[in-house]
Amino acid sequence: MAVGGISKVATWLTRLFQLFFAIILVGILSYMVHEFRHFHAKTPREVIVPEVFSVLAMVITGFSILAVFFLGYTLQLVAAFFDLVLFAGYLASSILLRHNYHRHARWDTLRNALISIRLAQGENGRPARTTGLVKLAVALCVIQTILFFFTTILSVLVARRTERERGLGEKKRHHGTV
């Protein structure tokens, strides 16, 4: 019983982090989309894809937080499936952002694109701010990939334990009434 409670609490806490990180990612990536559109430049896929999955993560994580404690076996499996989908989405986002993992920021393509479009319009390139935002977005995408992999496994474990406990409860009730 204690293991089931611990896994539920671990899943719930992990989902809160997923929700907070998704909100932060939506903010960062929306700012980048705004910058590209403001300067009439095409927004790259490595910004759009993680933003789409971060918006989805906000909605799905809200559902999944409820699923941990209040919903039954089937809906917990649905939450695990959604976790798997978001894991795949964040993995794809991390792969798209692969050209931004450099130790030295001057080689990061997204950072350079944002700075270039600002400089082309005669504005300040803001390299320090842009570097920080790109590095944070990349880090959060990688962290989200790990967290959604973790909650996919935890969700299946919690769902199986819930089903097992429900089955034991029904057996006890059945034997008690005979």
pLDDT surpassing 90 at residue 17: yes
DSSP-assigned letter for residue 106 = G
Q: Please indicate, yes or no, whether the overall pTM of this predicted structure exceeds 0.95.
A: no
Nearest by Cα to 62 from 22, 4, 30, 27? 22
Kindly report, residue by residue over 125-154, the tens digit of the pLDDT. 899 999 999 999 999 999 999 999 999 998
Q: What torsion do the CA atoms of 156, 159, 163, 164 make, to the nearest 10 degrees? A: 60
* Alpha carbons 137 and 100: distance in angstroms, whole number: 10
pLDDT surpassing 80 at residue 113: yes
More confident residue, 147 or 174: 147
pLDDT surpassing 70 at residue 171: no
Kindly report, residue by residue over 35-53, the tens digit of the pLDDT. 999 999 999 999 999 999 9
